[in-house]
Structure 1
Amino acid sequence: MLDRLTGLEVLSKVAGSGSLSGAARLLGMSPTMVTKHLAALEARLGTKLFHRTTRRLTITEAGRRYLDLA
């Protein structure tokens, strides 16, 4: 199980930077680990936090609400 606080920090950094790789650089971890933390957080919450395409990453309304509450 991945650390929940780290997952929240990852969510915040991805939302702020607008990219998985940018968040990974800020956090000093690999993009793969950033993705794993987001996936674990999404699985715990039962919802998608970001819309991902090959060219864009945008936070969902659920992601925005969760980030505002945390």
Structure 2
Amino acid sequence: MGSATVEFDCIVAANAVVLQDQTVPERLLTYSAPAETSPLFDDQLDRISETCDHYINLEQRSVCHAILSC
């Protein structure tokens, strides 16, 4: 049985189907069934990183608040 490979800085959308033995090269958005791809540009990757950092910060504040409230 083969396996799929998703390289660095890729996003695989919900319900996307990456086929067996398919490789998704780095910096691509993968969507659809079977998987199709679209390039991710620097400004998009920067925004995604900023959004991730924001949610990590919210989670850390939430945990800290929960600990202090106990």
TM-score by length of 1: 0.30
Q: Which has the higher contact order (CA 8 A, sep 6+)?
A: 1
Larger Rg: 2
Decide which structure has greater helix share.
1
Decide which structure has greater strand share.
2
